[in-house]
A and B are shown apart, each in its own frame.
Chain A
Amino acid sequence: DVKVTQSSRYLVKRTGEKVFLECVQDMDHENMFWYRQDPGLGLRLIYFSYDVKMKEKGDIPEGYSVSREKKERFSLILESASTNQTSMYLCASSFLVGGEQYFGPGTRLTVT
């Protein structure tokens, strides 16, 4: 079974803090993705990575950065958290960029 894990299920941070969300997959997948999910807006792609140290912007990259130093690990960084970044953050991985994705359990981030 594909396993994607995320570092925290719930996180509360203050405005202006730097926030790190980590994701690890154990299936040797080339591709990893970060989404945020908000009511009524569905899943929105923030960034994805198709190889170590490679990244592509998704639909809403502003205010976020990513890091992929190892194949199995993909980090999402909020440089200076703001209240409008309060959301559910989901990580996923896949063998092919356009192939089926396997999701982690999500991190519910609240920025106060």
Chain B
Amino acid sequence: QKEVEQDPGPLSVPEGAIVSLNCTYSNSAFQYFMWYRQYSRKGPELLMYTYSSGNKEDGRFTAQVDKSSKYISLFIRDSQPSDSATYLCAMSAKTGNTPLVFGKGTRLSVIA
């Protein structure tokens, strides 16, 4: 079983839709969770990070962590064509010397 699983998509939605992107993980030691956005031919950029369980909101983006289910989500409200990108989840135990573990990314297209 891979440590982090992420549906690769592609996911295509109409402009204005609510988008839900998800990752599951197997390592119960993970406590630090991140979402990255990567536009085509660019490097990933950090979008949001959360520590432990709960929700975090930033504008149209909400990150949600459910440690009991080992499941994290990123919600995008009022999606825009500029949100079209690949979204990668990443996580770590933070303590110790283990780098982030990344999901493979979900490709999202928002159609105008």
Interface residues in chain A, defined as those with a beta carbon under 8 Å from any beta carbon in chain B: 4, 31, 33, 40-43, 45, 48, 50, 56, 58, 90, 92, 96-106, 108
B92–chain A nearest beta-carbon distance, Å: 3
User: A103-B45, A108-B41 in contact; A40/B104 too (CB < 8 A)?
Assistant: yes
Chain A residue nearest to B104 in the complex (CB):
A42
Interface residue B34 (Cβ < 8 Å from any Cβ of A): yes
Cα of A16 to Cα of B104 in the assembled complex, Å: 30
Interface residues in chain B, defined as those with a beta carbon under 8 Å from any beta carbon in chain A: 8, 32, 34, 36, 41-46, 49, 88, 90, 92-100, 102-105
Cα of A96 to Cα of B103 in the assembled complex, Å: 20
Cα of A106 to Cα of B86 in the assembled complex, Å: 15
Chain B residue nearest to A6 in the complex (CB):
B43
User: A103-B44, A106-B41, A106-B42 in contact; A97/B97 too (CB < 8 A)?
Assistant: yes
